[in-house]
Structure 1
Amino acid sequence: MRQIVNALLLRDGHVLLARRSPTRRAYPDRWSFPGGHLEAGETFEQALRRELQEEIDIAPQTYRAIEEIADPVAADTTYHLYAVTAWRGTPIIRDDEHTALTWFTLGSAAALDDLALEAYRPLFRRLADARL
């Protein structure tokens, strides 16, 4: 099984989305979240902290697991989503995996027609209802 952690940075009814590079094998040029694969021996939380440092130069302070999503195309892949509500640093792109970082309201994120996974749409709606 391929295990992937993803971070939903949430602040004042907004979520930070990362535009995947057009050269990415999976879901190129689509909106997704910062994150990545677990390395050997890592916990989900360790992978979350490492990936956020590597990809967007932040250190998560307050976070919790909120959802698991099975990849609809790659049956051996599961995404472990974390809501991150406090962090140190300012998110910036640090690698070539993403071409943009953009804050969206949860409602406008749910309306995007180029999300990496359709399962994000109802998640954004639930988060908006929870007022995170």
Structure 2
Amino acid sequence: MVDIVNGLLVRNGQVLMARRCANRRLYPNTWSFPGGHVETGETLKQALQRELLEEIGIAPRSVMLLTRLYDRPQQDGTDVTFHLFIVEEWDKDPANLGDEHSELRWVQISLAAVLPDLAMASYRDVFTSLLVQ
């Protein structure tokens, strides 16, 4: 089993979306959220802290587990669990660092579900749950 953490930065009715680079092995050129693999010995929150710092240069101050999504994108059939955290407070403006994403974009939560090329169809349910909070 593979564990992935994702941070959903939320502010003023918007969520920060990240477009995965076209050369990514999994979910290429699709809209997702900053995050990545949990390394051996890390807790989910430690992995989230590390991934958000590496990918968008922020340190989250307030995180809450929103949901878990399950997928089997690995060619060897490995199950993958995506742990999605709401991040409502962080230390500075997010910036697109490294080569994970080709674009970062703030999107109204009500419009995020209709973005073309979402990495996972189940994100639509995630956006709906954010609207009712």
Give TM-score scaled by structure 2 length: 0.94
Q: Provide the C-alpha distance between the structure 2 equivalents of 1:103 and 1:125, rounded to a whole number of angstroms.
A: 17
Any idea what SS the aligned residue of 2:132 has?
A: helix
CA-to-aligned-CA distance 1:97-119 (integer Å, 9 cap, x gap): 10000000011101112100001
* Partner AA of 1:12 in structure 2: N
The aligned runs of 1:7-86 (5 Å cut-off) are: 7-74=7-74, 75-86=78-89
* Partner AA of 2:90 in structure 1: W
CA shift for structure 1 position 123: 0.9
Structure 1's unaligned 5+ residue stretches are none
From 102, 116, 119, the counterpart of 1:113:
116
CA-to-aligned-CA distance 1:31-84 (integer Å, 9 cap, x gap): 000000011100000000000000000000011001000015345111000000
Count of residues in Structure 1 that have an aligned counterpart in Structure 2: 130
Q: Provide the C-alpha distance between the structure 1 equivalents of 2:19 and 2:45, rounded to a whole number of angstroms.
A: 23
Name 2:126's counterpart in structure 1. Answer: 123
Structure 2's unaligned 5+ residue stretches are none
Runs of 4+ in 1 over 3 A off after TM superposition: 72-75
Distance 1:118 1:72, change over 3 A: farther
Any idea what SS the aligned residue of 1:127 has?
A: helix
From 87, 104, 107, the counterpart of 1:104:
107
* Partner AA of 2:19 in structure 1: R
| CA RMSD, 1 decimal | 1.0
Q: Provide the C-alpha distance between the structure 1 equivalents of 2:73 and 2:2, rounded to a whole number of angstroms.
A: 13
* Partner AA of 1:36 in structure 2: G
Q: Provide the C-alpha distance between the structure 2 equivalents of 1:129 and 1:3, rounded to a whole number of angstroms.
A: 27
Give TM-score scaled by structure 1 length: 0.95
